[in-house]
Each structure stands twice: as C-alpha cells, then as structure tokens.
Amino acid sequence: MVEIKGLTKTYAGGRTRAVDGLDLEVKDGEIFGFIGPNGAGKTTTIKMIAGVLRPDTGSVRIAGVDMSAEPVRAKRNLGYVPDTHDAFDKLTGIEYLGFIADVYGVDGPERKEGMEKYLRLFDLQSAARDSIKSYSHGMRQKIMLAGALLHNPPLWILDEPMTGLDPASALLLKEAMREHCRSGHSVFFSTHVLDVAERLCHRIGIILGGKLAAVGTLEELRANAAADATLEQVFFSVADKQTEGARL
Ligand SMILES: Nc1ncnc2c1ncn2[C@@H]1O[C@H](COP(=O)(O)OP(=O)(O)O)[C@@H](O)[C@H]1O
Ligand SMILES: [Mg+2]
C-alpha cells in the first residue's frame, strides 16, 4: 500500500536532517504505528507520505502510484488528518464535509450516506450545523477524521489521531481503524501513546533522530529486549542502544 525509499528532508535553516534516509513499507490490510519522541521526524515523514511536503530525496508510492510523478492520482488513494487543524474555522461541520465531498467528487447517495455515517459514528450530528470555530479540540479532530474518510480512501494517514479524543471517541476510532483494515485497506498513524500502539498495530516503526531505529511486529521488536517485553520496554531499549551507539 505504501512504499517509501530513501526519504530525506532538511528544513530551510534546519541544521540536521528532520528525516534521514527512511525506507519503509506498509502492507495491504495493515495498521502500521509510527512511534518516536517529540521532534523525531514523525510529522515530517507523514507530510511527505501524504504529499503535502516535498522530500529532498527519495520516493513515496501509494498503491503503486508515485507521489511526485502523479500527485493527484496518488492522493486519491489516501485520507490524511494532520495533527493541527486551524483551517476551515469559518465553515460549519456539514459545510466542511460538503467541501471535502466536492473536492473528491463524492456524489449521489454516497455523499449523503457518507456524511451521515461519519457524523453519527463520531457523535457530531447535533453540532453539524455549528461553526467549526465553536468546536472543542476533540470535535475538530473528529470532523477532520470524518472529512478524511468520506471518499473511502484505501489508505488512512493519521498524525497523532488519539490526541484530544475522549475515551469513547478514541474507542470508536480504534474500531473504525480495525474495520477499515479488514477489507485489505491500511492505516498509517503516529502516536506517542505506546499502549494504544501495542494493542492496535500489526507492525510498528520506531523513529529516532529522523532514522528508522527498528521496525516489525511487537514479537519481532522484542528481539531488542526481553521476550515478554511491553512496547514501552522495547522502545526504551532501542533508544538506549542508539544512545550507546552514538557514544562509541
Ligand atoms: N517547519 C519546520 N521548520 C524547521 N524545522 C522544523 C519544521 N517542522 C519540524 N521541524 C524540525 O524537524 C524535526 C522533526 O520534527 P517533526 O517531524 O515535527 O517531529 P515529530 O512529529 O516526531 O515530533 C524537529 O527537529 C523539528 O524541530
Ligand atoms: Mg508530530
């Protein structure tokens, strides 16, 4: 579903590479969790996968389509929810979903059904006609999710999607992610909530200082730690090894 090769990005004025030679694959039917400390390069990677930030070098293919060669076609295959949502403040929830439906050409019965489905799923029906400006962080997160999922893209790309969600909404989202992958579709998401990643993901990538430090199933990642280690223990063990390596 996603193939990333040699992805590198340095921001203007940035002294080090925010993302440094990243190779990664997300398979069909997979929930892939991307974890790492603040500033590790998760958001930068996600923006390049979603096609909103141009890599310095390297390539991204979504469902076999090269992002830099055919951005419009590649983007049709994905729904992206960024970690901040300041745009679209002037629209109401329903206007926002209508706008997204227009952009992606979602017409006919699918349009109304899709909007109703996601407004219901995220418990936003009663707020649908209020301006997004009046929404709480969690409600904004949910309306952005609804918008990203409306055109039924095979790949969901979610940057810290659980942040600001109440437990009930987080549960709905996790169930929606599982349901999405049952039909061979995929989810790529970043999180710093390690126990969510541990329970939800088929595979996990650990990014440290812009580089992929480890990747695999939890089982495979445990090769870096004890056989019954939690993801948290694996994470710190990988991070410690990296620091030791840097000292040598
Ligand atoms: N717009 C930007 N301009 C300059 N540096 C940036 C910008 N965005 C992020 N960075 C830097 O790039 C690195 C990776 O950031 P980011 O991808 O946001 O990490 P994460 O999402 O893992 O917290 C950090 O060192 C951050 O300070
Ligand atoms: Mg981030």
Encode pLDDT of 73-103 as tens digits. 999 999 998 888 777 788 999 999 999 899 8
Atom of ligand 1 nearest to the CA of 46: 17
When comparing pLDDT for 84 and 158, which is higher? 158
* Ligand 1 atom nearest to 40, measured from its CA: 22
Q: Is the pLDDT of residue 30 over 80?
A: yes
pLDDT given for residue 247 in this prediction: 56
> Is the pLDDT confidence value at 223 over 80?
yes
As annotated, the residues of the chain forming the CATH 3.40.50.300 domain(s) are: 2-77+155-247
Question: Do 205 and 7 contact (CB within 8 A), yes or no?
Answer: no
Strands 57-62, 2-9: parallel, antiparallel or unpaired by DSSP?
A: antiparallel
- Of 222, 159, 234, 209, give the one whose Cα is nearest residue 36: 209
Pocket perturbation via mutation, ligand 1, pick of 17, 20, 43, 54 by most ligand atoms within 8 A of CB: 43
Residue 10 alpha carbon to ligand 1 centre in Å: 9
CA 111 / ligand 2 centre spacing (Å) = 31
In the reported structure, the alpha carbon of residue 116 is separated from the centroid of ligand 2 by a whole-number distance in angstroms of 30
Ligand 1: which residue has its CA nearest to atom 11? 18
Compute the distance between CA of residue 237 and CA of residue 13 in angstroms, rounded to an integer. Answer: 32
Given 3-state DSSP classes, what are the helix, strand and coil percentages for the chain, each rounded to the nearest 5? 45, 25, 35
Sequence-ordered list of residues with C-beta below 8 angstroms from that of 12, at least 6 positions apart, any chain: none
Ligand nearest the Cα atom of residue 36: 1
Query: In this predicted structure, what is the pLDDT of residue 248?
Result: 52
Mutation choice for ligand 1 from 7, 9, 10, 11, CB with most ligand atoms inside 8 A: 11
According to DSSP H, which parts of 36-166 are helical?
Answer: 42-50, 71-76, 93-104, 108-121, 137-149
Residue 245 Cα to ligand 1 middle (Å): 23
Given this model, what pLDDT does residue 187 score? 97
Give the nearest ligand 1 atom to 47 CA: 17
Q: Return d(Cα 214, Cα 220) in angstroms, integer.
A: 9
Does position 5 have pLDDT exceeding 60, yes or no? Answer: yes
pLDDT tens digits, 98-156: 998 998 888 989 899 999 999 998 899 999 999 999 998 889 889 988 998 888 899 99
Mean pLDDT of the chain: 91
- Residue 197 gets which letter from DSSP? H
Ligand 1 — pocket residues by CB below 6 A? 11, 14, 18, 36, 38-44
CA dist 15 → 38, 187, 242 (Å) = 17, 32, 20
Q: Indicate the CATH number for domain 2-77+155-247.
A: 3.40.50.300
pLDDT at 245 over 70: no
Mutation probe of ligand 1 site: the residue of 19, 20, 44, 49 with most atoms within 8 A of C-beta? 44
Angle between helices 93-104 and 137-149 (to 10 degrees): 30
- Ligand 1 centroid–CA 113 distance in Å is 38
pLDDT surpasses 80 at 243 = no
Q: Would you say 179 and 202 are in contact if contact means Cβ atoms under 8 Å apart? A: no
* Encoded tokens for 183: 């039909």
